[in-house]
Chains A and B, each alone.
Chain A
Amino acid sequence: MQRLPVWADVVLVPILSLLAAFLISALVILGIGGNPVEALQVMVTGALGSAYGWGYTLYYATNFMFTGLAVAVAFRASLFNIGGEGQAMLGGLGVALVCLAVDWPHWALALPAAMLGGAVFGAAWAAIPAWLQAKRGSHIVITTIMFNFIAASVLVYLLVNVLRPPGSMDPATARFPEGAGLPTLHDIPGLGGIFDRNTPANITLFLALACVGLVWLLLFRSRLGYEIRAFGKSEPAAVYAGISPVRITMIAMLISGGLSGLMAVNNVMGEAERLVLNSVEGAGFIGIAVALMGRNHPVGVMFAALLFGFLYQGGAELGLWTTIPLELRTVVQALVILFTGALDTMMRMGVERVFALFARRAA
């Protein structure tokens, strides 16, 4: 089959997939008696029409960038890390422990420590499935899924029995000290006039963007990234080239888990300012869709994360302002995942056929 030009491959195909997903979503909305045009309006104004909406959209997008990058890095090593959810949960634990351990005088001191805590805990949670895969051949998909459940149970236990402040009825940690609070976009000079005080989006957004750049450097400029990609394409070839499968499996999963864990800086430290149950809210799973749609490229992940941030926030508005139930958000997301991920090849083949037709006309 003839290959598509790059722009069609990375821009046209995803956009067509998205349109198809939205079209089907519109039919679903029609089917349950809603008005798809109104729904779209609510979603767009709700997510993008105000600084308030943008604040949430960017906040969610930050989460998805971390988990999307996490999936993408592992996937480049041909490891399907479904455990982003659990790794982000454990990352939250790491962040919370760091934030609660010291009465932090200033966020600039707390942030690096919390990043380290989140990344180390996330990486550690990924390390066990990684080791089982590398040394014992236990399939990473199975083990990482299992570890999501284990992580949830561990958190319930810790929040109920260990970390809950005495007298509290809420399975959550105490509030973090004032000094561990991250600046929101409102606190950033120049943006204060745009975003209001309660906006959840915080400086972790810039950390996420920095991670996009670093992951790009890692994958496409570094020797380690070269080894990760080579191993991901062919394990026997990697062995021929003297690349150790055990080493790459471990390193790729540690980086992946670390990125998932870093997400907690955004949601736990930046937004909730304490660790609650289910703080991850499915962002680990959405990361899979984000990586799929972003084709495991950091820049693609960034854009896909923004899109899913929009869907997440816009969908929430939908539940708030229309008779369309909140669950529809999940339907729309599922359709986007279906079309950009699972049915990507279908769309691609169609586009390839159209291009081949034009090429023949031109010839």
Chain B
Amino acid sequence: MNIDFTRIIPRIPYLLQGVQVTLTIALVAALIGSVLGFIISLITSKKGLLGRVLFLFVDFFRGTPLYFQLFFYHYGLPQVIPGFLPTAYHSAFVIFSINSAAYLSEIFRAGIQSIDKGQIEAAKALNISTWDIVTGIIIPIGAKNVLPAIINEFITLIKETSVAAVISVNEIMRRHTIVAGTTFRAFESLIIVGLIYYTLTKTLSIAGKVVERKLRYDLR
């Protein structure tokens, strides 16, 4: 068998530097996506014109591939908007954020709907403000109910950042292409890349389990 890691080993630090890029995109998208997704979920939870418009928006981002969305923003829009020339990072941050906002808003919406209305009524009867109801009741109870789905979404996000390679963001997969192209050692490089991705997602899922255990007041 033609396997030889000796030419890949010096390139491992280069591949590992991609972790920082991957995680930066994932983290920014997770943060912005969470805030944006939460606001969207609050609006789409209620009936109303804005809610319906936002739902269409969410539906579009869930109904088209991320690959398409990146291309559309990065290569499509500059053609019709004069002077709009986003950098690869700019496009990645925007599209990954909006895309995860769309998925997260649906998860949050399910979380809000999972809360028994009686508890919100009790809070209203006690004259508790809407802000305190959201932060003190809806978020903590909803978070417990949907945490596994949120962690799942973050794991998906980490994996999907690999798509950013197509608009030449210098993340792990793009670095692999470069390494494989210069060393002609694709298999060895891919083994390393696979291990990196698996380590990242596994770490996140273990962290998620720990947080979940902390949030499960019903198991105390």
Q: State yes or no: do A and B come from one complex.
A: no
List the interface of chain B (C-beta within 8 A of A): none
